[in-house]
Amino acid sequence: MLQNLYDKALTWSKHPHAVKYLCVLSFAESSFFPVPPDVMLAPMALSQPKKALHFALWTTIASVLGGLLGYAIGFFMFDSLVAWLQESHYWENYLRAKDWFADWGFWAVFIAGFSPIPYKVFTIAAGSLQMMLLPFLLASFVGRGLRFFLVAMLLAAGGKKLELKLRQYINSISWGIVILLGISYIIYNYI
């Protein structure tokens, strides 16, 4: 089943509008959507290695523009979102982001942009805490760019050989990830 899904993802990654969909996903993820653009960028870079850097550039640009939307949400609408945010699972992340801004400012956005930490939380926090826009944009562009170019270059370097190996082991890899996520959830919530 997972091999079929993997094959479909590679087919979808060659769709004529795949770059547009990648940009929409990248934009949305930076301000409100929970799915990271890596899920589209990875198969696109893997299936079309010569275009990998092109895909990474578009992903970065769209992500930073989405980050601007997150910043604007925090800057202009934070007061009306506080009640919802406090009830959501993002509240603790927001408080953590606020503390990080107090200690590291620019570097907090950079780290959130590069790492799997929810970048959207930091874009909204940057706006709500009225971080200066130019450092925010610079940290976002460098952090997101490093992440997406690294993903694209690694997968493009693996090329067809990596694609075949992934297809061969996709079931084992997927179940391993599911098990790790389950263990992480248990540790985080119960230990």
Q: Where are the domains of the chain?
A: 2-160
Q: Locate all alpha helices (DSSP H) within 30-51, ordered by sequence.
A: 38-47
User: Which of 164 and 64 is assigned the larger pLDDT?
Assistant: 64
Q: What is the pLDDT of residue 8?
A: 67
The single-letter DSSP state of residue 116 is S
Q: What's the pLDDT band for 171 if we cut at 50, 70, 90?
A: low
Judged by DSSP in three states, 129 sits in coil
Give the single-character DSSP code of 89. T
Among 154, 146, 159, 162, which Cα is nearest to 111's? 146
Percent of the chain clearing pLDDT 70 (strictly above): 86
Residue 169 banded pLDDT, cuts 50, 70, 90: low
